[in-house]
Amino acid sequence: MSKLNHKLVVIGIYAVFVVLLVAIFYPILWVVGTSLNPGTSLLVSNMFPADPTTDHYAELIRNTDFMLWYWNTIKIATVNAVLSTALVSLTAYAFSRFRFVGRKQGLMVLLVLQMFPGFLSIMAIFVLLLQLKMLDTHLGIILVYAGGAVSMGTWVMKGHFDTIPRSLEEAAFLDGATHKDIFFKIILPLSMPAVTFVALNSFITPFMDFILPQIILRSSDKMTLAQGLYNMVANETNSSFTLFAAGAVLVALPITLLYMFFQKFLVGGLASGADKG
């Protein structure tokens, strides 16, 4: 490749990169600007209003059930992260370290399940939770989230487990360690990137999801953030969009901070899951 062609390729890559940055950050800046708009209109002349105000944030906290929605979401997200990580870790360890009948078929089933969008099973989930009397309960939606995390999370964590030398386990067995000791004292400590990746994705899911909570959770005191903010706008005739923007910023802020704090672990966990041998 000549130097001219090389420069053209580099320029093209940077151009695509700039376009992607604009496409990603413009909506974010627009939402932040809208949340600071003194009025109730979504249309602002500039990216940020001339007289920004934080009144919408104060009104959101004082005059709505925003904090209740936040607490419900935090509770669901925390329990889901713990339960999903436990299920995924145990499942991935079994597939990585044990050889049993149906192992390859089980891995293939988990792989195929990732190809289908979750909303295809919504009706079945609704009927199942109705029969189990778990409809309109936080436990019901937590179990659905945790079960849905197993397919993708197992492949990610199994890929990381496969990179851990078996010689460490063999040495531990010689010292009298059990599978339980090896799992908790050797495998998990060496797999913190993958564990963090699965836990954080499971924690963030309830913040991002709207369809499943809208179908499962019916009571106003059990709503998540996505439900509450949507209903707040839907029940008001186009008059609460600035409040919605303020709520969106408050929802995105902790998620952004978590991603920034755990960025190294996330990248390492995602990269480790690429080895699916």
pLDDT given at position 273:
46
pLDDT given at position 138:
93
Sequence-distant (6+) residues with CB within 8 A of 43 are none
Give the amino acid at 2.
Answer: S
- How far CA 182 is from CA of 122, 173, 197, 234, in Å, comes to 38, 8, 21, 52
pLDDT given at position 8:
81
C-alpha of 59 from chain center: 28
CB of 135 within 8 A of CB of 126? yes
CA distance 84 to 63: 34
- Please, what are the domains in the chain? 3-53 (no CATH), 64-272 (1.10.3720.10)
Q: Could you tell me the two tokens for 27?
A: 């909506």
114 class by beta-carbon count within 10 Å (0-12 exposed, 13-18 middle, 19+ buried): exposed
Most distant CA atoms of the chain, gap in Å:
72
pLDDT given at position 277:
43
Q: Angle at the Cα of 187 (from 184 to 190), degrees rounded to 5?
A: 115
pLDDT given at position 40:
66
Mean pLDDT by 10 residues, the chain (277 residues): 74 90 85 79 64 84 90 94 93 88 86 78 88 92 90 86 85 85 86 86 89 89 90 68 86 84 66 46
